[in-house]
Amino acid sequence: MYENKEIINDSNKEVKKNSDKYKVIVKNFDRSKLSRMMMILILGIVIGIMLLLNFTNTSSNSKEILSESSLEKMLNITDLSTYQAIYNGISTVENEDGAVNYHVSYEAVVKAGLNFEDIKIDNNEEDKIITVTLPPTEITDINVDIASLDFIFENKKSHTDTVLQEAYKACINDVEQESSEKTAIFEFAQENAENTVIATLGPFIDQLDDDYKIVFK
């Protein structure tokens, strides 16, 4: 009986020993694997959040800067809306019969411009094209310098005391007519305005997305 009890006791000790060993092995195994899994999980979550935040942040920043209202606000530079042309010309004054009385040379400045507040912008995000519609250019001011008048008289009798006043009016009429007919004045004003738009918007658009293009309508 005692032998059986001893065998049983020994056997129980063995089982308990094995069981304890097993528990130790399981504990060690769980702890190291758990740590590794936790590290990988934390890393994965953080990288995922970072990527998501960075993408949405960049995307929303770009969209905000490239919005039509932001771009139009950037172009609100009224100081650059006016351009000037130098118009030194010659006006010919005739008498009632059509014969030439005299020629008068003058110096004048013609100002042409457009209203930057009327610029319209359309952003086509799909094709990445920003279409800028500029308002028409107009002559805004003409200034003839009366002190610059110089004469060549063909009819000496027309050289009177009031010739300066008459000539000054003739010069103003001449430059008004000539400048409205000279398309180059308007073309250069338009070109200068387009360069202003590109100089203002171009640096931002290039840095945000260099696939974008600016087109003028």
Partner 1 sequence: MKKYTKIIVAFTITLIMIVCIIFGYKLFTNEKVPSQPQVSEMKSICELATLKCYFNNVAKYSEEDVEGILFWKKDANFWVEYNGVVTLGIDASLVDMSINGTKVTIALPKAKVLSSNVDELSLNEDSYVFEEGSASISAEKQREAFEHAQKTMKQTASSDVSLLLSAQQRAQILLEEYIKNIGDAVNIQYEIEWKYLETDGTPDDTEE
Whether the CA torsion 90, 96, 99, 101 is positive or negative: it is negative
Q: How far is the CB of 207 from partner 1 (least distance, A)?
A: 4
Q: How far is the CB of 99 from partner 1 (least distance, A)?
A: 13
| Nearest residue (CB) to partner 1, 8 versus 25 | 25
Whose CA is closest to 85, among 109, 107, 113?
Answer: 109
By DSSP bridging, strand 120-124 and strand 213-216 are unpaired
Q: How far is the CB of 94 from partner 1 (least distance, A)?
A: 13
Residue partners of 80: CB distance under 8 A and separation at least 6 = 116, 196
Contacts with partner 1 by CB under 8 A lie at 31, 35, 39, 42-43, 46-47, 50, 54, 58, 61-62, 65, 74, 77, 79-80, 83-90, 92, 103, 105, 150, 152-154, 178, 182, 184-185, 188, 191-192, 195-196, 198-200, 202-204, 206-209
Q: How far is the CB of 46 from partner 1 (least distance, A)?
A: 5
Helical H segments across the chain, by residue range: 2-65, 68-74, 163-181, 183-208
The dihedrals phi and psi of 80, each to the nearest 5 degrees, come to -110, 15
| Nearest residue (CB) to partner 1, 84 versus 115 | 84
Q: How far apart are CA 155 and CA 93, in angstroms?
A: 10
Q: How far apart are CA 100 and CA 102, in angstroms?
A: 6
Q: How far is the CB of 63 from partner 1 (least distance, A)?
A: 11
